[in-house]
Amino acid sequence: MAELLKTDWGESGFQTQVNAAHSPDSEQVSEKNWVSSDDGQSASKDVFVRSIAGFKWILVVTAILSSRMLFALDNTIVANIQPGSASPDRHSTGEGEEYRLGGSDWPWGGDCSIALFVVAGILFIVFGVQQTFHICCNEKNRLFPIHFLKRRSLPILFILNTCASSGLFISVYKIPLFFQFTMGDTAIKASLRLLPFVLVLIFIIIMNGHMMTKFGYYLPWYVFGCTLELIAAALVCKPPIPLHDPLFGGILNNFVSVVVKTGTSASAIYGYTSLMALGVGAFNQAGYSVVQAKVKTSEIPWALGFMMVSQLGGIVIGLGTAGAIFVNEATEGLLKLLPEVDPEVVKNAIAGTSSSLFDTLTIDERAKALDVIVHAINQVYILLITAGAMGVVLSVFLKSEKLFLEVAAGGA
C-alpha cells in the first residue's frame, strides 16, 4: 500500500501538503521548492514528512477498531431507545450483541461491567503517561497536546465544549422519543418536532459567530449559554427532592406544574427545547474561534483537534450515559409496575408503544407505563442540569478579555 501511494502521488506530493498543513511546526517548514522530476512527477525539498512505521501502526489500528466499537455501541443505544430503529426481537441479528448496557443486561457488579471500566481506566492512564513522557513519539508528532492542560483557559474551554455538545445531542435524541411515546408519532413526524430546536440552534450559532467576531468578547456568551442550558434542563427534569421537603418543598411546588409530564402539551415542549437550543448554541461553536486566538499560530492545528476531542467526547459520554439512565430507569419502573411480566418482554417494550406488551395492558396500566417511561426520559436531563451548573461555575473563571477572533469551522 505504501509503495502504491508512493507511485501514484510521488515522493512529496499530496501527502507532504497534508502533513505540512497539520504539523504543529508548519511555520518552520521551509518554502516549498517545486521542481519537476525525471518521471514527470512533482517533488519538493526540505519538507517534514510524518511517517507511520513500527509501533505507530498499532496505535493506528487500535484507533480504527476503537472508533468501530464506539459506533456500534452508539447504534445499540439508538436501537434500544428509538422506536422502529430495530426489530423487537433483539436475538434475530447477531450485530451488537456484545455491546450491552450495564444494569439492565449486565449487572453493575458483574464481571463484564467491572472489566469494561477497569480496562477503559487503564488505557486512559497508559495513554496519558505515553503522551506526557513522549514514549514512542516526540513533542512534535504526539497525538494529544498535553501542554495545553497547563494553561488556565484551555482546559476550561475543553470542559465547556463538552457540556455544550452533551446538551445538544441528548436533546436531539430525546425530543423525538418523548413524542413517539406520549403522542404516538411516527418516526418521521417525531423528527419534524425537532424543527423549533434546530431553527433556534442555527440562528444563535450564526449570531454568536458574527457578534464574537465583531466585538471580540467571549465570556458573556459562555455565562449566558450555560445559564440557559441549566434552566431548560431544570424545566424538563422531575425534581429529585420530594415536594413535602420542609426546606425546598415549597419552592419546588411552585414550579412542578411546568415539569414535563405525559400530558404536557407540544407547545410547552417546543418552548423548553428552544430554550435549550438557545443555550447550547450560544457557545457550542465558540471554542473553536477562541482557542485559535489564544495559542500560537503553529499550534492552531493542535488547538482545533483539542476542541474536536472535547466535542466528540461530550457526544459519546453524554449519549452513552443518557442511554444507560433511560434503559435502566424504564426497565426498573416497568418491572415494578408489571412484576408478572418477563423482563425480556419489558426490555423489548422500551423499543416503542407498538410493542405487544402495551397491547395487552389495560388503559390504566398503559397510562402508568407511559408515566414510567416519561419519568425515565426526564431523569436523563439530570445530566444536562449537571452540565449547565458546571458550565456556569467554570465560565466565571474565564478571562474577561477582548480577543481578535476569526470565524472558525467546528464540528457537529
- For the chain, the distance separating the N- and C-terminal CA atoms, rounded to the nearest angstrom, is 32
CA distances from 294 to 89, 287, 300 (A): 52, 10, 9
Q: Please give the sequence-ordered ranges of beta strands (E in DSSP) within 254-308, or none if there are none.
A: none
- Residue 167 cell numbers, joined: 446538551
Cβ within 8 Å of residue 129, ≥6 positions away = 135
Does residue 157 register a pLDDT over 60? yes
The region of weakest confidence among 69-83, 106-120, 124-138, 228-242 is: 69-83
How many other CB atoms are there within 10 angstroms of residue 307's CB atom? 26
Least confident of 37-41, 47-51, 238-242, 349-353: 37-41
Angle at 177 between CA 335 and CA 310, to 5 degrees: 105
Give the SS3 label for residue 36: strand
CA–CA distance, 101 with 108 (Å, rounded to integer): 9
Distance, CA of 182 to CA of 104 (rounded, Å) = 23
Task: Specify whether the CB–CB gap between 142 and 335 falls below 8 A.
Answer: no
Q: How confident is the model at residue 65 (pLDDT cuts 50, 70, 90)?
A: low
Which of 92-96, 114-118, 139-143, 243-247 shows the lowest per-residue confidence on average (mean pLDDT)?
92-96
Q: Three cell numbers at 237?
A: 427534569
Q: What is the pTM of this model?
A: 0.70
Which backbone phi and psi does 244 adopt, to 5 degrees?
Answer: -90, 5
Instruction: List, in sequence order, every beta strand (DSSP E) within 230-290.
Output: none
Beta strands 42-43; 35-36: pairing state: antiparallel
Contact 388, 280 (CB under 8 A): no
Could you give the 3-state DSSP secondary structure of residue 402?
A: strand
Q: Identify whether the C-beta of residue 93 lies closer than 8 Å to the C-beta of residue 361.
A: no
Range in 107-111, 226-230, 254-258 with the lowest mean pLDDT: 254-258
Comparing C-alpha atoms, which of 128, 278, 127 is closest to residue 200?
278
pLDDT of residue 46: 47
Nearest CA to 259 out of 231, 228, 224, 227 is that of 231
- Of the pLDDT bands very low, low, confident and very high (cuts 50, 70, 90), residue 241 is very low
pLDDT in tens, 291-328: 999 999 999 999 999 999 999 999 988 988 898 888 88
Nearest 5 degrees, angle CA 81-CA 199-CA 180? 25
**Contact in structure between 113 and 107 (CB atoms under 8 Å):** yes
CA dist list (Å): 293 to 88, 241, 267: 51, 43, 41
Name residue, grid cell 457488579. 109
> Could you report the per-residue pLDDT of 161-182, keeping only the tens digit for each?
999 999 999 999 899 888 988 8
pLDDT of 192 higher than 50 = yes
CATH number of the domain at 152-395, out of 3.30.70.270, 1.20.1250.20, 3.40.50.880, 2.60.120.560? 1.20.1250.20
Percent of the chain at pLDDT > 70 equals 66
What does the buried/exposed string (b/e) look like for 231-269 if buried means 16 or more CB atoms within 10 Å of the residue's CB? bbbbbbbbbeeeeeeeeeeeebeeeeeebbbbebeeeeb
Name 102's bridge partners: 106
Instruction: Outline where DSSP puts E strands in 323-367.
Output: none
Burial of 86 (0-12, 13-18, 19+ CB in 10 A): buried
pLDDT in tens, 343-379: 888 877 776 544 577 778 888 988 998 899 998 998 8
Let me know: does 205 contact 284? Beta carbons within 8 Å.
Answer: yes
pLDDT at residue 390 in the model: 96
- Asked whether the beta carbons of 330 and 104 are under 8 A apart, the reply is no
Is residue 227 over pLDDT 90?
A: yes
Q: Residue ranges of the domains in the chain?
A: 152-395
